[in-house]
């Protein structure tokens, strides 16, 4: 296989979304939600929105753009209330347009419901067709709207939103971490596999806060209480906080890329600080793939912790060889090939003094499509580096994600198109290339295999993927395809809802 065939297009996996919620009588909930979303901006850069309730009426504002572009003092001053939810989006289902921005709002006979979703349903099309057959009209094209309208329908039937959500959960297959707002309550919901993170905090001893990551709790000064359990529905209202274990968890399947790339390094997930987990990954890849070098440099920003760990373990000095322009959003426009080539230089500028005449060990978290790595390697060589050795703290990314990370289809993944690591090395132009093994990754993370989704590395999907959805991302002929039934025959069955103290 030629190098040109291996190289497709650039970029990391596109992030999932960020969700936030607060029940806080007496608090400035719109501004707290704004700051929470600001802390979660890395999870989505296409649109942002906040829905607020004062106990009687609900107000929604959402727009395309980054959090600071969408909201200003005037906008926030109009969002008055005691409880709120917020969302920052990257589209994995549905187009990137205002109609798909979140939170989304629907009506039921008891009032309004707003929903913010992180994840992706694999059976959304089936559920949408069912609703359409019953006469439901859709304004958007995302799975999140399907979930919202299902909740509204079931709330009418069950007599409450809380019961409506519990009734819907057994029918949703895939990844979902939700915050839901009614006129008088905020809810947090997590799928039975726990694919996407969701946590609970307490602010000023009274207000209850929900967020995709604990970094958002830290930003607003909230105390971290615990994570929402897989299959759990948590409700915060005037009576306090209560939880239902609606679905039994057949197994945990937290997306391993939350540790590798998605989450902020100052977040805590599964009882582990993400920064330390990434640092251990770097130490582990140094053990498995040592190389003689003069300096270890990270690819900013997510490569930093792993590069520090690699330097610590290998004894090769750590240095900063690439400076990142942090004012370039991930949605940076690249109108033609010439400017696309310049895009990497605009985002990353090499330090000649740190690279010239040296054997450089460049550490990053992953290679997905490959083109960006090739440009960075070439840029480092242009600054006079004698050798460029690339070390990756994750295994080869070979399989697309269906649970809320947009890696498009398999034909765009360089590790799927190239049959060997040597071909990938040749494609990116490095002197050597060392990937973390799955076993080494698990050893570095110190998380049991049974608690993680490793589908992007192994092709084994814990939640079965419908055939039509599966084929949409499999452009390559693949005889080694193994369906998710190996690890999960069916989705989690409903348990008898039992209410427990939160």
Domain residue spans of the chain: 18-250, 271-479
More confident residue, 337 or 358: 358
In this structure, CATH architecture of domain 271-479: 3-Layer(aba) Sandwich (3.40)
Distance, in Å, from the CA atom of 396 to the CA atom of 175, rounded to the nearest integer, reads 23
Least confident of 27-41, 93-107, 183-197, 274-288: 93-107
Distance, in Å, from the CA atom of 413 to the CA atom of 367, rounded to the nearest integer, reads 9
Banded pLDDT at 341 (limits 50, 70, 90): low
3-state secondary structure of 284: helix
| 45 in Cβ contact with 234 (< 8 Å) | no
Distance, in Å, from the CA atom of 279 to the CA atom of 365, rounded to the nearest integer, reads 11
The two tokens of residue 158 are 């069950």
Distance, in Å, from the CA atom of 269 to the CA atom of 48, rounded to the nearest integer, reads 24
In terms of Cα–Cα distance, which of 20, 30, 24, 18 is closest to 73?
30
168 is catalytic: no
Per-residue confidence (pLDDT) for residue 484, from 0 to 100: 40
More confident residue, 471 or 353: 353
Per-residue confidence (pLDDT) for residue 335, from 0 to 100: 42
Same CATH fold assignment for domains 18-250 and 271-479: no
Banded pLDDT at 45 (limits 50, 70, 90): confident
* DSSP class per residue in 393-458: SS----S---SS-B---GGG-HHHH-SSHHHHHHHHT-SEEEEPPHHHHHHHHT--GGGEE-HHHH
| 401 in Cβ contact with 261 (< 8 Å) | no
Give start and end residues of each alpha helix (H) in 13-104: 29-39, 67-70, 73-77
Residues 6+ away with beta carbon under 8 Å from 66: 41, 45, 48, 329
Catalytic residue among 6, 17, 168, 255: 17
Which whole-number Å values give the CA distances from 213 to 19, 266, 276, 418, 481, in the listed order? Answer: 9, 9, 16, 35, 33
Residues 6+ away with beta carbon under 8 Å from 240: 502
Residues 6+ away with beta carbon under 8 Å from 209: 20, 21, 22, 24, 32, 36, 200, 201, 202, 203, 217, 220, 222
Banded pLDDT at 347 (limits 50, 70, 90): confident
Task: Tell me whether the omega of the peptide bond preceding residue 301 falls within 30 degrees of 0, making it cis.
Answer: yes
In this structure, CATH architecture of domain 18-250: 4-Layer Sandwich (3.60)
3-state secondary structure of 355: helix
pLDDT of residue 324 exceeding 70, the answer is yes
Per-residue confidence (pLDDT) for residue 91, from 0 to 100: 57
Distance, in Å, from the CA atom of 439 to the CA atom of 457, rounded to the nearest integer, reads 11
Distance, in Å, from the CA atom of 447 to the CA atom of 111, rounded to the nearest integer, reads 43
Per-residue confidence (pLDDT) for residue 493, from 0 to 100: 37
pTM to 2 decimal places: 0.89
| 15 in Cβ contact with 90 (< 8 Å) | yes
Banded pLDDT at 406 (limits 50, 70, 90): confident
pLDDT of residue 97 exceeding 70, the answer is no
Least confident of 95-104, 216-225, 269-278: 95-104
The two tokens of residue 238 are 């005037």
**Average per-residue pLDDT for the chain:** 88
Which whole-number Å values give the CA distances from 412 to 31, 374, 449, in the listed order? Answer: 40, 15, 26
């Amino acid at each position: 296989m030629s190098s040109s065939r291996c190289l497709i297009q650039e970029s990391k996996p596109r992030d999932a979304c960020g969700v936030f919620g607060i029940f806080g009588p007496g608090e400035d909930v719109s501004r707290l939600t704004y700051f929470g979303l600001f802390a979660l901006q890395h999870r989505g850069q296409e649109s942002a929105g906040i829905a607020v309730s004062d106990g009687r009426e609900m107000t929604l504002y959402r727009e395309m753009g980054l959090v600071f572009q969408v909201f200003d003092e005037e906008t926030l001053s109009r969002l008055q209330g005691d409880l709120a939810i917020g969302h920052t989006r990257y589209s994995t289902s549905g187009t990137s347009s205002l109609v798909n921005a979140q939170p989304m709002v629907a009506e039921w006979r008891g009032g309004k419901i707003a929903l913010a979703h992180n994840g992706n349903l694999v059976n959304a099309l089936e559920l949408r067709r069912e609703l359409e057959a019953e006469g439901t009209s859709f304004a958007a094209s995302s799975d999140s709207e399907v979930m919202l309208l299902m909740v509204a329908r079931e709330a009418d039937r069950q007599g409450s939103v809380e019961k409506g959500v519990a009734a819907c959960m057994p029918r949703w297959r895939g990844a979902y971490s939700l915050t839901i707002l009614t006129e008088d309550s905020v809810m947090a919901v997590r799928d039975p596999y726990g694919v996407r993170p969701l946590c609970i905090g307490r602010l000023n001893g009274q207000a209850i806060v929900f967020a995709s990551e604990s970094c958002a709790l830290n930003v607003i000064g909230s105390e971290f209480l615990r994570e929402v359990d897989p299959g759990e529905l948590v409700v915060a209202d005037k009576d306090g906080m209560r939880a239902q274990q609606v679905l039994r968890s057949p197994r945990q399947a937290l997306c391993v890329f939350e540790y590798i790339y998605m989450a902020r390094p100052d977040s805590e997930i599964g009882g582990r600080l993400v920064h330390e987990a990434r640092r251990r990954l770097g130490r582990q890849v140094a053990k498995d793939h040592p190389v003689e070098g003069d300096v270890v440099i990270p690819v900013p920003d997510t490569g930093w912790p792993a590069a520090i760990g690699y330097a610590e373990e290998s004894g090769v000095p750590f240095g900063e060889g690439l400076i990142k322009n942090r004012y370039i959003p991930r949605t940076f426009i690249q109108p033609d090939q010439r400017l696309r080539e310049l895009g990497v230089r605009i985002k990353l500028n090499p330090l000649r003094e740190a690279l010239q005449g040296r054997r450089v060990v460049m550490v990053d978290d992953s290679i997905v499509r490959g083109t960006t790595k090739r440009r960075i390697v070439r840029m480092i060589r242009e600054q006079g580096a004698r050798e460029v050795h690339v070390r990756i703290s994750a295994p080869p990314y070979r399989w697309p994600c269906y649970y809320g990370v947009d890696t498009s289809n398999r034909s765009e993944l360089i590790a799927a198109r190239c049959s060997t690591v040597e071909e990938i090395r040749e494609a990116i132009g490095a002197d050597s290339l060392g990937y973390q093994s799955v076993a080494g990754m698990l050893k570095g993370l110190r998380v049991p295999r049974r608690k993680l989704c490793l589908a992007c590395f192994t092709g084994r999907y814990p939640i079965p993927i419908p055939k039509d959805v599966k084929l949409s991302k499999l452009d390559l002929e693949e005889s080694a395809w193994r369906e998710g039934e190996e690890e999960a025959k069916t989705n989690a069955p409903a348990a008898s809802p039992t209410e427990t103290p939160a």
